[in-house]
Amino acid sequence: MPYEFKFPDIGEGLTEGEIVKWLVKEGDSIKEGQPLVEVETDKALAEIPSPRTGVVLKILGKEKEVIKVGQVIVVIGEKGEAVAAEPPSRPKSVGVVGELEEAPEEAPALPAKPPGEKPALVSEHAMATPAVRALAKELGVDVNKVAGTGPEGRVLEKDVRQAVEGKAKPAEPAEPEKKPAKVKKFDFYGYVDRIPLRGVRRSIAKAMVKSKYTAPHVTTMDEADVTDLWALRSKEKAKAEKRGIKLTILPFIIKAAIAGLVEHPYLNATLDDENEEVILKKYYNIGVAVDTPEGLMVPVVKNAKDKSIFQLAEELTQLSEKAKNRTIDLADLKGGSFTISNYGAVGGLQGTPIINHPEVAILGVGKIKELPVVRDGKIEIRKIIFLSLSFDHRVVDGAEAVRFLNTVIERLEDPNLVLLEG
């Protein structure tokens, strides 16, 4: 009997992916474990292996198509076997351990409710957090008319967004099938190109919108004199090169940021909005934004506090190369507790970086400039680096953010403190 292989959940929270390239074609004989298709999921490329040995009878997903978890993408069977005309279009819920049974298509009818009775979990004064109420107001939704799915009928963020989607897509009467509309290659002013929002750029767009609509962003800026740090890095650079390591200023910035996170733990946290709890992380997994040809990626250095400057430099180089050539593992893009965006590497001076949700803060690092500075009544030329800290004002107040930045600056201006802390 033909086997319908559904796109599995290959990562925590994964709901969809984009087919990049099929590695087999219809009629090919395949073995269990053989790569079938290359799929892009949350900025990482993954090869999906065949679950069994057989023949590819039917390929149901096209390259560049976005597929949902549980959607049938290929039918495998024996040579000559017939394939059903239309495999089930509505996917079952699946995960890495198998399939979950779904409810029947039509549930038994419920007894009719008396006229005027409100639906369950909806009240005139809905239970919802201030953040959810603010989101509902921004999206034009009456939070008191949203059915809450949280504990004791609490209205959650997902409930508000689902209400918006339902409002934006009203039921319409069936219309005769229309021919695909022709897409114009020009507008009123001239010719244009239309580029599908796909791949890494699509993931970035979704992540940025979620972060900006969820966390109230505030950014504070400052600068640090890194003249002594630059001299130390230049001195150690030759030793690093002998070990095949490219030593930049970034490992020192990571160490300085960790010192700030240790002293100010609320910046190394996430907010559980549903349960109204701040989760303080006891580990320090530092994400570092990397500019790639496909778009921005954020590989994560795990347990960065326990690694030396040279170890951090080596791992940063490896992760950056993997991100740029698209061989990075999905696990290397997850698990961060704090992020650093080094836009100074491409010439940026200052910025207002967007928080890498669900984290609560991100440190933007500008380029190093030689500037005249007054020291002990005399003007000197010093190397100055510009820093921008964006933070979630629901969790972190401005004073705490400034104190964190002061700790980072203190470490950058006295690199011996970084070395003493390991």
- Write out pLDDT tens, residues 76-105: 988 877 776 554 444 444 444 333 344 444
Beta-sheet pairing, 29-30 with 300-301: unpaired
Provide the β-strand partners of residue 54.
30
Q: How confident is the model at residue 418 (pLDDT cuts 50, 70, 90)?
A: confident
Q: pLDDT tens across 328-343, in order?
A: 888 899 999 999 999 9
Q: Looking at 89-93, 256-260, 384-388, which range is the least confident one? A: 89-93
CB of 50 within 8 A of CB of 33?
yes
Spell out the domains of the chain, with CATH numbers in brackets: 3-99 (2.40.50.100), 120-156 (4.10.320.10), 200-420 (3.30.559.10)
pLDDT at 170 over 90: no
Among 313, 292, 390, CA closest to 350 = 390
Q: How confident is the model at residue 189 (pLDDT cuts 50, 70, 90)?
A: confident
pLDDT at 175 over 60: no
> What letter would DSSP give residue 118?
P
Exposure of 143 in the CB half-sphere (CA atoms within 13 A): 21
Per-residue confidence (pLDDT) for residue 340, from 0 to 100: 97
Q: How confident is the model at residue 141 (pLDDT cuts 50, 70, 90)?
A: confident
CB of 128 within 8 A of CB of 142?
no
Per-residue confidence (pLDDT) for residue 231, from 0 to 100: 93
Catalytic site residue 393?
yes
CB of 247 within 8 A of CB of 371?
no
Q: pLDDT tens across 278-309, in order?
A: 999 999 999 999 998 888 899 999 999 999 99
Helix residue spans in 171-282 (DSSP H): 199-214, 227-242, 250-263
Q: Looking at 171-175, 220-224, 266-270, which range is the least confident one? A: 171-175
Q: Which residue has better confidence, 100 or 386? A: 386
Most confident of 174-178, 342-346, 382-386: 382-386
Average pLDDT, the chain: 83
Per-residue confidence (pLDDT) for residue 94, from 0 to 100: 44
Among 363, 361, 97, CA closest to 224 = 363
Q: How deeply is 90 buried, as exposed, middle or buried, from its count of CB atoms within 10 A (0-12, 13-18, 19+)?
A: exposed
Q: pLDDT tens across 39-72, in order?
A: 887 767 888 888 889 898 889 888 888 888 888 9
Per-residue confidence (pLDDT) for residue 65, from 0 to 100: 86
Q: pLDDT tens across 115-138, in order?
A: 444 444 444 567 777 777 878 887
Among candidate residues 125, 217, 357, 393, the one labeled active-site is 393
